């Protein structure tokens, strides 16, 4: 992409309405634009990151054996009356009528609808286990939408649902989700700690939230600092292996880590004092096992081995896809701007032409641009007629992990500069060496 043709409405000043750094930087970097309270347009740069996050979520769900599907955003109230949640959900649910006067709503989550699909088609234990998920827009009429996409009213969420014959099978599904979520966040450059949580309006006994530690997080968290030493390290997992998933769950959830809703001061005191931490966190996901709550209410039954009809055991699992864009920025930025982890960066690298219009510099940049694209990467080439300082400031603000800087002086000696956004370290090298180095980072 050439910056001269890109829609990147960068703001020089800090927008007054933004209270936290991710919101500020997303507005300044031209990633989003608010259209109503808690409702945003995703501009080209922001959409790229959102789509990269979405892609990682899809890939990791597929690896765990879960199937993607898509349900509508607008649902009829009927199913929600059947489950009893139409009245329970309260003011967060956006309700309206269609032209025939029928009660409709914008989906805040989809347990009812998926259970309806299930009960219409599945009758036997032979069709289980089954886990399906979607990545779809949700609407919750939050009382205080704030912090940009972190607490929106309209937001993008992965929601998955498992159907199992027994509690034991459903707990394996729970463990499998925990493991796949750990992988998912790690690929985004995030450490998200599973913490024992409260189930809220979804209901159920077993639930963990995944929290990214950040001063601006809305949840108060209590944990043993030993949990921050745990790392998944891209391990290859057999998701069908019940023992393997169980042991990873134990590895990541045995040490004390809880949100304020489930915090137990007496238990916390058993953690050695120097490891006892009280901090704040951003909830980027949650997994639930809720047993037969919805299957009983909606009659989602299957025949078991003995030919008896039994309600299925279920769980649901969510990842805040749009919230993650903000959470990643909260976890990775400096005073100049965003620092994208390589796994989610909107462009793989930037090319800065220090002297646009200089025949040699232009030719060198074009050549870099084409070679990187031919290698399957997406560079963002700043080919505008602007001074170098402004170009650097833009690149730092939008946070691409690598910057290739090309100028007539370097080219005389056959070199360009390669700089890492995170380390701030820059090195001179030949264009070929720089290209190889960038390609190697993304292989
Ligand atoms: P919260 O406690 O932050 O209101 P929740 O527990 O109600 O969230 P879930 O039903 O668990 O949310 O939804 C799954 C995920 O969707 C959450 O972990 C969070 O990352 C994301 N999410 C929930 N509400 C919002 C929102 N208003 N804006 C953006 N993301 C959200
Ligand atoms: Mg939650």
Instruction: Choose which residue among 90, 282, 320 to substitute to test ligand 1 binding: the one with the highest number of ligand atoms within 8 A of its C-beta.
Output: 320
CB 130 within 8 A of CB 173: no
* Domain ranges across the chain: 3-338, 349-442
CB 270 within 8 A of CB 181: no
Those residues whose C-beta lies under 8 Å from the C-beta of residue 73, and which sit 6 or more positions away, are 106, 107, 136, 137, 138, 139
Chain center to CA of 322: 6
Nearest protein Cα to ligand 1, atom 19: 320
CB 40 within 8 A of CB 325: no
Instruction: Choose which residue among 94, 160, 283, 317 to substitute to test ligand 1 binding: the one with the highest number of ligand atoms within 8 A of its C-beta.
Output: 283
Nearest protein Cα to ligand 1, atom 2: 283
Q: Is the CB of 284 under 6 A from ligand 1?
A: yes
The H-or-E segment that residue 379 falls in is: strand 379-382
Nearest protein Cα to ligand 1, atom 26: 151
At 200 the pLDDT is 66
Q: Per CATH, is 3-338 categorized as 1.10.3720.10?
A: no
CA of 261 to the centre of ligand 2 (A): 12
Domain 349-442, CATH class in plain words: alpha beta
Nearest protein Cα to ligand 1, atom 28: 151
Single pTM value for the model: 0.96
Q: Is the CB of 326 under 6 A from ligand 1?
A: no
Establish whether domains 3-338 and 349-442 are of one fold: no
DSSP state of 14: P
What is the C-alpha to C-alpha distance for residues 270 and 282, in angstroms, rounded to an integer? 25
At 198 the pLDDT is 77
Q: Which of 99, 165, 90 is nearest to 128 (CA)?
A: 165
Q: Is the CB of 190 under 6 A from ligand 1?
A: no
CB 322 within 8 A of CB 14: no
How far is residue 238 from each of residues 179, 287, 416, 439, measured CA to CA in Å? 10, 20, 45, 30
For 127: left if phi > 0, alpha if psi spans -120 to 50, otherwise beta; the answer is alpha
What is the C-alpha to C-alpha distance for residues 409 and 223, in angstroms, rounded to an integer? 53
pLDDT tens digits along 122-157? 999 999 999 999 999 999 999 999 999 999 999 999
Among all chains, which residue has been given the structure tokens 């290209």? 435
Q: Is the CB of 157 under 6 A from ligand 1?
A: yes
Residues of the chain falling short of pLDDT 50: none
How far is residue 36 from each of residues 8, 81, 232, 349, measured CA to CA in Å? 21, 29, 39, 33
At 197 the pLDDT is 86
For residue 200, the ligand 1 atom closest to its alpha carbon is 6
At 201 the pLDDT is 60
pLDDT tens digits along 156-193? 999 999 999 999 999 999 999 999 999 999 999 999 99
Among all chains, which residue has been given the structure tokens 């959102």? 50
Question: The tokens of 55 are what?
Answer: 């892609």
Cα torsion angle, 219, 224, 225, 228, sign: negative
Q: Is the CB of 152 under 6 A from ligand 1?
A: yes
């Amino acid at each position: 992409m050439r910056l001269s043709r890109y829609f990147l409405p960068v703001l020089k000043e800090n927008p007054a309405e933004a209270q936290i750094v991710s919101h500020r930087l997303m507005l300044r970097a031209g990633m989003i634009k608010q259209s109503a309270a808690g409702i945003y347009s995703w501009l080209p740069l922001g959409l790229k990151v959102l789509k990269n996050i979405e892609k990682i979520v899809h890939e990791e769900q597929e690896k765990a054996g879960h199937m993607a599907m898509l349900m509508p955003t607008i649902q009829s109230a009927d199913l929600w009356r059947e489950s009893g949640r139409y009245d329970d959900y309260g003011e967060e649910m956006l309700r309206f009528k269609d032209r025939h006067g029928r009660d409709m709503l914008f989906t805040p989550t989809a347990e009812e609808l998926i259970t309806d699909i299930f009960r219409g088609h599945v009758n036997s234990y032979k069709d289980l286990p089954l886990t399906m998920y979607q990545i779809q827009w949700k609407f919750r009429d939050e009382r205080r939408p704030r912090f940009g996409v972190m607490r929106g009213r309209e937001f993008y969420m992965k929601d998955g649902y498992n159907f199992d014959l027994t509690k034991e099978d459903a707990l394996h599904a729970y463990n499998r989700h925990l493991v796949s979520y750990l992988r998912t966040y790690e690929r985004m450059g995030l450490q998200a700690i599973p913490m024992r949580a409260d189930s809220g309006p979804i209901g159920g006994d077993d639930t963990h939230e995944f929290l990214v530690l950040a001063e601006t997080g809305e949840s108060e968290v209590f944990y043993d600092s030993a949990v921050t030493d745990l790392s998944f390290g891209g391990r290859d997992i057999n998701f069908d292996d019940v023992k393997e998933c169980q042991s990873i769950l134990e590895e990541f959830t045995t040490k004390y880590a809880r949100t304020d809703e489930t915090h137990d001061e007496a238990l916390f005191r058993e953690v050695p004092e120097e490891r006892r931490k009280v901090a704040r966190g951003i909830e980027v996901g949650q997994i639930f096992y809720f047993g037969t709550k919805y299957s009983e209410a909606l009659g989602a039954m299957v025949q078991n081995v003995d030919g008896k009809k039994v309600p299925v055991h279920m769980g649901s699992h969510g990842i805040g896809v749009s919230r993650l864009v903000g959470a990643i920025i909260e976890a990775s930025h400096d005073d100049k701007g965003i620092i994208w982890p390589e796994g989610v960066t909107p462009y793989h690298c930037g090319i800065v032409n220090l002297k646009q219009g200089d025949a040699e510099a232009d030719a060198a940049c074009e050549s870099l641009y084409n070679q990187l694209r031919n290698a399957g990467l997406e560079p963002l080439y700043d080919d505008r007629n602007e001074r170098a300082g402004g170009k650097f400031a833009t690149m730092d603000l939008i946070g691409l992990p690598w910057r290739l800087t090309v100028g007539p002086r370097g080219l005389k000696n056959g070199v360009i500069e390669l700089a890492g956004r995170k380390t701030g370290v820059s090195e001179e090298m030949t264009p070929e060496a720089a290209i190889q180095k960038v390609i190697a980072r993304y292989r």
